[in-house]
Chain A
């Protein structure tokens, strides 16, 4: 029988206990996307991950909000064995990604924040 729930082990995917580089995050993202495209669930296992950066989590997970809805991600993605400090960064990454991809005018909004500084 085929699995509907796919386990992705971070350390095994990136070959390191330091989940820090954006490029490594991309490897994780590519796997999750493949599973989601097949309408299956992902359990992302952070066991043995020692350090995480926002750059890694942005590409690994934040990017998902570009291709999938918040509801779909909530229903189909679970995390396991993530450290409390990692969870704090992940939550920030997720909240930022929702805002970024929900707003069709993100570029203009960021440009305006620059204009606000220029006009100070």
Chain B
């Protein structure tokens, strides 16, 4: 039985999820049971869901044996536990953003998901149109990155609103090749995982044969203005960037893919426009 206690969006919590993966990754036709206690940040369902899927692919049976009542309610409301045989619950507080599993080809489903879970929700914390648009744009940039680069079978997303803290957490996870392998394969180099992430978030750095490398740079610029945070966990690399600076660490083992966790402030009144508008004739 694996016991997850106090899972937040911290380096230590990601390490626990990575340890859990390595503990069971070679199992086939086995039972894997999980206990969730004290706290389990709802958006972390994306990361846990990605790993559990790798286990179920090897025909292991997943069971949630003991779950603290408060955690169970949230994970039933956001649909995560319905993937593992528990009943669905209606979210009367309207603070969950549903757990969703998609293939990279499911872009149109992702659109409906974003519309239903973010854009068209009247009960969301009050947000200016500009900041809402920037948040949705940022989420799409990350989703599209996973689509194009990760070589994953599935993409897992989940989020949570914190109305009192005026925050949204949103996580996108995949079980693809990770930043490091993608970059090293393309350029025949041997960057470690953290250096690979650092390289990828710089403006105009791309592994594609066409121009690009802007998405993550744009996101970083928005994060600074919004006083939000981005965490990227890819292979054994941990990268965190916020308005207060960046933090880089290595895990003791690899996550089998990439997790991007985004935190945004909803009470942000920036207009996100340039001081002088760009003339249509000056674009090209």
- A63-99 toward B: CB 8 Å interface, digit per residue (1/0)? 1011000100110011110101101111111101101
Considering only residues 195-209 of chain B, those with a C-beta below 8 Å from chain A are: 195, 198-199, 202-206, 208
Known contacts A21-B147, A74-B284, A99-B204; A113/B199 CB under 8 A: yes
- Residues of chain A lying within 8 A (CB to CB) of residue B280: 78-80, 82, 87
Bound CA–CA A96/B216 (angstroms): 14
Q: Is A55 a contact of B215 with CB atoms below 8 Å?
A: yes
Q: Which of B152-160, B183-191, B225-233 contacts A (4 or more CB under 8 A)?
A: B183-191
CB closest residue in chain B, given A55? B144
For B252, the chain A residues whose CB sits under 8 A away are none
Structural contact, B195 and A117, CB atoms closer than 8 A: yes
B-contacting 9-mer, from A2-10, A33-41, A46-54? A46-54
Residue B141 at the chain A interface, CB threshold 8 Å? yes
Q: At the interface, yes or no: B272 with Cβ under 8 Å from chain A?
A: yes
A53 touches B144 (CB 8 A): yes
- Interface check B277, CB cutoff 8 A: yes
Q: Is the beta-carbon distance between A51 and B204 smaller than 8 angstroms?
A: no
Q: Which residues of A contact B140 (CB under 8 A)?
A: 18, 20, 51, 53
CA distance A43 to B183 in the complex (A): 37
CB atoms of A51 and B133 under 8 A apart = yes
CB distance from B11 to the nearest CB of A (A): 22
Are B107 and A62 in touch, CB under 8 angstroms? no
In the docked arrangement, what's the CA distance between A51 and B135, Å?
A: 10
- Report the Cα distance A62→B215, complex, angstroms: 13
- The answer, among B107, B111, B214, for a CB contact under 8 Å with A58, is B214
Q: How many A-B residue pairs have CB under 8 A?
A: 131
CA gap between A115 and B183 in the complex, in Å: 12
> How far, in whole Å, are A63 and B210 apart by their CA atoms in the complex?
6
Q: Which A residue's beta carbon lies closest to that of B206?
A: A110
Cβ of A91 and Cβ of B283 under 8 Å apart? yes
Given A16-B108, A58-B212, A94-B204 contact (CB < 8 Å): no
Of the candidates A51, A77, A92, the one whose C-beta lies within 8 Å of that of B284 is A77
Most A C-beta atoms less than 10 A away, residue of B108, B199, B204, B205: B204
Contacts of A99 in B (CB 8 A): 204, 211
User: Nearest-CB distance from A21 to chain B (Å)?
Assistant: 5
A94 and B284 contact, CB distance less than 8 A: yes
CA distance A18 to B84 in the complex (A): 32
Q: Is the CB of B137 within 8 A of A53?
A: yes
A22 touches B277 (CB 8 A): no
Most buried by B among A20, A93, A99: A20
CB pair A92 B199 closer than 8 Å? no
User: Given A58-B214, A62-B210, A65-B211, are A87 and B144 neighbors across the interface (CB < 8 Å)?
Assistant: no
Cα A100 to Cα B205 with chains together (Å): 10
B54 contacts chain A at the CB level, 8 A cutoff: no
Taken together as a complex, chains A and B put the C-alpha atoms of A114 and B202 apart, in Å, by 11
Closest CB in chain A relative to B114 CB, distance in Å: 8
Complex Cα gap A58–B271 (Å): 24
A114 to B180, CA, bound (A): 11
Task: List 26 interface pairs A-B (beta carbons < 8 Å), by A numbering.
Answer: A16-B111, A20-B111, A22-B148, A51-B136, A53-B137, A53-B215, A58-B208, A63-B211, A85-B133, A85-B273, A88-B273, A89-B214, A90-B283, A93-B211, A96-B204, A96-B211, A96-B212, A96-B213, A99-B204, A100-B204, A100-B211, A110-B187, A111-B189, A114-B183, A114-B189, A117-B198
